[in-house]
Structure 1
Amino acid sequence: MFPIAWRCVLSVLLAVVGLASACSARAADPAAEARQAWQLLDYIAVDYPAAIQNGEVVDAGEYAEMREFTASVSAKLAALPPGAGHAARLAKAKQLEGLVAERADAEQIARSAGALASELLTVYKIEAAPAAVPDLARGAALYAQQCTACHGATGRGDGPAAAGMDPPPIAFTDADRAKHRSPLSLYQVISQGLPGTAMMSYAHLSNDDRWALAYYTGGLAYDAAAREQGAAIWADDDQVRRVFPDLAALSGATEADLSKTLGADRARAIIAYLRGEPSAVAASSPVNSNASLALARQRLQQSVAAYRSGDRGQASALALSAYLDGVEPVEPQLGSRDRKLLRQIESAMATLRARIGEGAPTSAVEAQAAAVGQLLDRSESALADRSNSTTAAFLGSFTILLREGVEALLIVIGMIAFLRKAERRDVLPYVHAGWIGALLAGGVTWAIATYAVSISGAEREATEGLSALFAAIALLSVGIWMHQKSMAGRWQQYLQEKMSAALTRRSATFLFVLSFVAVYREVFETILFYAAMWNEQDSSAILAGLGLGLAVLAVIAFALLRLGTRLPIGQFFRFSSILIAVLAVVLVGKGVAALQEAGWISQALAAVPQIEWLGLYPTWQSILAQIAVAAIAVLGFVANARGAKAMPSAHERPRGNA
């Protein structure tokens, strides 16, 4: 029995690893055409001033290259599969092509190219930051091995192989050019190469190596004095540190953009320091709440702009991204500090998506987006307040584990108690293998999410939603079946004679799957919550909350098992069937709500309160799903009762048919 059960565990773990590997491969290789289009747009924004000045061609070769690159951007976008906002993006590419043909001023070209490039980053999920702090020593070694022949030992573009190259290799020490280049743009060139030049792709290098090389080359234009000045500014100015809450912000930053807010000298110093010491950014902020909320605001602005232009599909996608990629990552911290505010934000953003979906007047969408923006401002203040952070971290850690653990506990303990009552302890290993396998799979998920691939908000919600719906369907069928058996008589004889046939290997495998899914769903969500919540300052409080939560769950498990052994078997089955049906109703509500948050199911708002522990959410789709499951359960129970009345009582049955 144990070998079979643990083979089930191994199969599931392999499936989890395989699925995560597939996700990783997908995430590491987004649409190549979109990446190359982004790279060309960045190149156009940086190099256009070398071709056109004051409306006049100053370098015919550079200008011809700009014309070629803008045409290539249009062609690459046209080759992408159509989808939400595709036509609008293609129109923007054509508009940029026209601006270059008209020899528009450099600022207008940079603005148009930058806006379209930012949209491509969002829509096609182009990698925008390293997974870990780049290793500058590794970057220097790679540069010496791979780049000096063309770019020269110090990055001046004067390597021995540079002679005769047209166009010549880039001089990384060119201060004017370096102002407009970000580590992200350098990373993309290293990864993709540059068409029409001698710059080849270095995609054979690992992701970490390419980022290390990008940061190293991005720092060659800055001297030690600038870096020292930047270090002093970074240490003393909290406002500057807020500009770079994470590596994504640093990777996309340029000196030119930063100078608009900090001034030229301070911007140059900060960029010089952080490109040489990117670890300073990673160490400066335990949570990325500022970056997440800034991203949410950016997506809201883009969503409203898309709606104004008539692109409802893109507006809807951006509004959803504002929640999934901007708000959801800080839910654990915000929920532990001000849960009411978190619920207000969720409701307001759902209303915004509903307004967009129903084609409301532009003024209504703008007003709702403004209301969301005000709530985000309040959230930023709440997250910045560290006065009660230790208490909030402790309570958040405790309640998260308790909330997620009780649901899984009720299902697993119910199955264990049922099998004990049925005297089928031989099937218990399947149930134990299921929940233990789920814990192991959770550990694998944590490792993959931490070191291999980022799990997006949409992927998280979809996983939670689908697993909740599966568990709801399984529990509904089990609940009706248990209620049917509770209507019968002579329980002990029935169980002894019938359960051996009822619990075949297929049924035991079903119990394994149900145990696994019920626990993995909660483990998956809990892991992501703790990962988002974790920081060194509050680590002791978080661990204390975790420990107390585990202790309370252990007490609940013990009490449930004792209750199951003391209840008469008929009462046990009736009580369990009702409890399981209620859990099915709760889970179907949560499942539909999660799929709505992932963008899989549309939202029609309903004027009801959100009661999370009941799975009640203010959308008609989730409410109707709960009503449907409750109705099926009630009809099943009524049919069971009528069937029991129509059957002869236990003592009237022939003994051979018991």
Structure 2
Amino acid sequence: NARSAYLDSYEFVEIPLRAIDPDFTLEVEYQFATLRNLIKQEVPQEEIQDVIIGIRRNLDESERIVSGIGTLAPSIAFTSSFAIIFREGLESVLILGAITTYLEASRNNQFKKYIYYGVMAAFAATAITWVIASFIIEISGANRELVEAIAALSATAVLFYVSFWVLNKIEHKKWMEFVKAKVWQATTTGSVMVFVILSFITVYREGFETVLFYQAMSGFAKYMEIYVGLGFIVGMISLLGLYFVMRKLGRKLPLRALFGLTMGVGAYLSIAFFGNAIRELQIIDIVPYTGLIGIIPRLDINLAMMTGIYPTLETIIAQIILLGVYLIASSYILIIRPQKEHQMSSMRKSRKTSDE
């Protein structure tokens, strides 16, 4: 059927094709989604046949693009490999860089090791996943999308919690009161687990996808393994460089600005993860698909993956709702609550003055 054709066949061609022609890749993906919708709606056979003809034509074009003689050219193998590891690792670098810099600025260096514990556990889990996927079982397309959706939703939930935890401490006075009252020490166990879980989910989510992408690429890059390896190494070096640049710049920021940056990065990525999770659920038909192609601009596929913005009604609504929650809560915490506290403080002072 249309879903299995996409998940178990075309999605593997999509990986190298995305590096060559991202717009064409996204066009074919939405053609498959349209076909699934038409079949569900039981439209006339002629209408379905027109879409199938278009898909077949684009599948032939996909094959022509990625396999002149059945293998990828060295430059494409290198570019595809670099693009996979850099794009998959970029979100992890942004999150972990912001969190570790924040811990340093708030003089809580002792908790950084728990971030690293989570990262090491994620690397170990990724290695185990690679062994299982390569030698023990074959992870089907539908199961792969489901696992990615669950990981994205989990990351959204953890980032949502961390973002508001940071937002509540954005005022320097409140942070100092928080430290002096030793609430942090009183909740050490819970906070430590949040750091471990956040770093683990962040890295493993990307690691899981990376394993599957490189497995798929190996089928298209026969005799080009050295270029795939070089792309991976250059991508990792680029990510490490970006991480250290973030750390260095972050140390120069005032505490309030750093808290705001940490909250902003967490909010942005949680919204992006949420959009990507809904899209994964649409691919396996758990969430309905209502296309908006031609109504809203279609982003480049790599930009769409980084923002979670896709031309479907369901992903847009989900992201707007989460963005609305952030805006309302931020307005309350940063504007409304301080005004109320100021009013209460003024009332207490006036009462004290009148009593005297």
- Which residue identity is paired with 1:626? Q
Q: What residue is the counterpart of 1:633 in the other structure? A: 326
Post-superposition offset of 1:530:
0.9
The one-letter code matched in structure 2 to 1:515 is: S
Report the residue type matching 1:625 in the other structure: A
The gaps in structure 1 that reach 5 residues or longer are 1-317, 654-658
Structure 1 length-normalised TM = 0.49
- Residue in 1 that maps onto 2:354: none
Alignment of structure 1 residues 340-489 onto 2, 5 Å: 340-385=23-68, 389-489=73-173
- Structure that is richer in helix per residue: 2
RMSD between superposed Cα atoms in Å: 2.1
Q: Is the 8 A contact 2:106 2:255 kept in 1?
A: no
| Cα distance per residue 1:198-253 (max 9 Å; x no partner) | xxxxxxxxxxxxxxxxxxxxxxxxxxxxxxxxxxxxxxxxxxxxxxxxxxxxxxxx
- Displacement of 1:365 in angstroms is 1.1
- State how far apart, in whole Å, the 2-side matches of 1:511 and 1:599 are: 33
Aligned residues: 335
- CA deviations on 1:469-500 (whole Å, 9 max, x unpaired) are 11112212221231222135264454354452
Partner of residue 565, structure 1 = 251
Q: Distance in 2 between matches of 1:362 and 1:518?
A: 44
Q: Deviations over 1:330-374 (max 9, x none)?
A: 222222333222111101111111212233222111111111111
Q: How does 1:25-44 map to 2 (within 5 A)?
A: none
Aligned equivalents of 1:502 and 1:435: distance in 2?
25
Task: Determine the C-alpha separation between the residues in 2 that align with 1:552 and 1:431.
Answer: 21
- The CA deviation at 1:520 is 0.4
Q: Deviations along 1:531-559, whole A, 9 cap, x unmatched?
A: 11123421111111111111110111001
8 Å contact from structure 1 (residues 345, 375) kept in 2:
yes
Closer/same/farther in 2, CA of residues 321 and 536 from structure 1, 3 Å limit? closer
User: Does 1:621 find its partner at 2:314?
Assistant: yes
Aligned partner letter, 1:559: V
**In the superposition, relative to structure 1, how do residues 362 and 628 fare at CA in structure 2: closer, same or farther (>3 Å)?**
same
Q: Which residue of 2 aligns with 1:108?
A: none
Residues 487 and 644 in structure 1, CA contact (< 8 A), matched pair in contact too? no
Report the equivalent of 1:520. Answer: 204
2:351 paired residue number: none
Offset, 1:409: 1.3
Aligned runs of 1:205-216 on 2, under 5 Å?
none
Letter in 2 for 1:360: V
Identity %: 30
**Partner amino acid for 1:321?**
S
Write out aligned runs for 1:25-424 (5 A). Answer: 318-385=1-68, 389-424=73-108
Tell me which amino acid in the other structure corresponds to 1:362.
Answer: Q
Contact 1:349–1:372, Cα closer than 8 Å, also in 2? yes
Distance 2:342 2:252 in 1: 28
Distance 1:554 1:503, change over 3 A: farther
Q: How far apart in 1 are the matches of 2:96 and 2:268?
A: 15
Tell me, in whole angstroms, the C-alpha distance in 2 between the residues paired with 1:432 and 1:511.
9
> Residue 486 of structure 1 aligns to a residue in which SS?
coil
Question: Is 1:575 the equivalent of 2:261?
Answer: yes
| Maintained 8 Å contact 2:167/2:330 | yes
Report what 1:593 is aligned to.
279
Q: Which has the higher contact order (CA 8 A, sep 6+)?
A: 2
Partner of 2:341: 647
Q: CA deviation at 1:380?
A: 1.3
CA distance in 1, matches of 2:183, 2:210: 36
Q: Deviations over 1:572-620 (max 9, x none)?
A: 1012112211111111000110111122222111233142221111211
What is the identity, as a one-letter code, of the residue corresponding to 2:25?
L
CA distance in 1, matches of 2:116, 2:163: 20
TM-fit CA distance, 1:418: 2.2
2:231 aligns with 545
Higher mean C-alpha deviation, range 477-486 or range 389-398: 477-486
Q: For residue 235 of structure 1, what is the aligned residue in structure 2?
A: none
Work out whether residues 486 and 574 of structure 1, in 8 Å CA contact, stay in contact via their aligned partners in 2: yes
Paired AA for residue 125 in structure 2? A
Shift in Å, 1:427: 2.1
When residues 445 and 576 of structure 1 are mapped into structure 2, their CA distance, relative to the original with a 3 A threshold, is same
Change (3 A) 1:331 1:502: farther
Deviations 1:316-337 (A, max 9, x none): xx11001001101222222233
Using the TM superposition, give the Cα deviation of residue 420 of structure 1 relative to its aligned residue in structure 2, in angstroms: 1.9
Question: Which amino acid letter does the alignment assign opposite residue 554 of structure 1?
Answer: L
Calculate the TM-score normalised by the size of structure 2.
0.88
Deviations 1:396-417 (A, max 9, x none): 1111111110101111222212
CA–CA distance in 2 between the matches of 1:422 and 1:487?
A: 12
Q: CA, structure 1 residues 438+580, in 2 after alignment: closer, same or farther (shift >3 Å)?
A: same
Write the deviation string for residues 130-177 of structure 1: whole angstroms up to 9, x where unpaired. Answer: xxxxxxxxxxxxxxxxxxxxxxxxxxxxxxxxxxxxxxxxxxxxxxxx
Tell me, yes or no, if the aligned pair for 1:398 and 1:548 is still in contact at 8 Å: yes
Partner of 2:169: helix, strand, or coil? helix
Contact persistence 1:466–1:595 (CA under 8 A): no
Aligned AA for 1:364? E
| Alpha-carbon distance in structure 2 between the residues aligned to 1:627 and 1:489 | 32
**2:292–2:313 CA contact under 8 A, matched in 1:** yes
CA contact (8 A) 2:158 2:198 kept: yes
1:590 and 1:368, CA in 2 relative to 1: closer, same or farther beyond 3 A?
A: same
Q: Deviations over 1:431-459 (max 9, x none)?
A: 11111111110000000000000001111
Query: 1:92-139 CA distances to partner (integer Å, 9 max, x unpaired)?
Result: xxxxxxxxxxxxxxxxxxxxxxxxxxxxxxxxxxxxxxxxxxxxxxxx
Contact 2:123 2:207 in 1 (8 A): yes
The Cα shift of 1:630 comes to 0.4
Q: Distance in 2 between matches of 1:627 and 1:570?
A: 26
1:533 aligns with 2:227: no
Kept in 2, the 8 Å contact 1:484–1:640? The answer is yes
Q: Does structure 2 retain, via aligned residues, the 8 Å contact 1:491–1:570?
A: no
